[in-house]
Structure 1
């Protein structure tokens, strides 16, 4: 049974998240708290735009810190190295042929997905279709534009 709470991330992404949460907790949240205190001292809070802006910023920063904490608490670090089986896993890079051309994809967890740069989520239809496949396998993916066929040329 798959743990639905597992957050698949690379070591690099984990380090980025640690840096981000540290920045939030050590710098941004205290700075915003100071802004809130300064705005409170201006008097009437009902029409104090700076106060309301700072409160919104604080809500965002605290929410983001909580989200990062959840990701890190449930993180499973995936290797960026190809495994010995040659099958596509989270962290695998693969070269595929489709529509008369070739494209390189890297299968990543949803927090690292960036389709414009070839990083596809394991939870996306195409990422999910590639999982477990090997060099030479053909994959068909249903898209809004119709069925797209891919052939895996290389897994590395």
Structure 2
């Protein structure tokens, strides 16, 4: 059974863009490795060791990203007004006076600093399939709390 990773079209494109950047950088890293190899004794050549390691990391990252694309399921935003992958939500947390905005994304795209929360995080799970005006209880590891959904777009 193959497990497909859910993601937004934007998240899919971000991975494609990173792959393109890495592939563009690969010839430069290969050239650095070749130059370091030509410096002589490889057993005491730190430039060679570093260049080889950096190229290996690049190749490993490319394989990882390729698998992310291969096993991804792109989810289109639900236009019914309910929260789903790709929805932008405005939330009011219990005890706060200021509303906060987030985007519901796939696991690999989540980045709280950029306002992107995963659909399968405790908050994401509580919000899924809800509509504006609802108040949901989030069951988080540190305890439960209520969140009011102000808007969904």
For the criterion TM > 0.5, the same-fold answer is yes
Structure 1: gaps spanning 5 or more residues: none
Partner of 1:103: 100
RMSD: 2.0
SS across alignment from 2:43? coil
Runs of 5+ unmatched residues, structure 2 = none
Give the corresponding residue for 1:21: 19
1:38 matched to 2:35? The reply is: yes
2:114 aligned residue (112, 117, 120): 117
Q: TM-score, normalised by structure 2?
A: 0.85
Task: Give the whole-Å Cα distance in 1 for the aligned partners of 2:87 and 2:117.
Answer: 11
Q: Normalization by structure 1: what TM-score?
A: 0.84
Runs of 4+ displaced beyond 6 Å: none
- 1:141 touches 1:147 (CA, 8 Å); kept in 2? yes
Shift of residue 4, structure 1, vs aligned partner:
6.9
Q: How does 1:1-156 map to 2 (within 5 A)?
A: 5-25=3-23, 27-79=24-76, 81-84=77-80, 86-98=81-93, 99-101=95-97, 102-156=99-153
Please give the alpha-carbon distance, in whole angstroms, between the structure 2 residues aligned to 1:57 and 1:71: 21
Higher helix fraction (1 or 2): 2
Distance 2:68 2:35 in 1: 33
Q: Deviations over 1:44-102 (max 9, x none)?
A: 112211111111111111111111111111222233x4422x22111111122222322
User: In structure 1, what is the Cα distance between the partners aligned to 2:10 and 2:144?
Assistant: 34
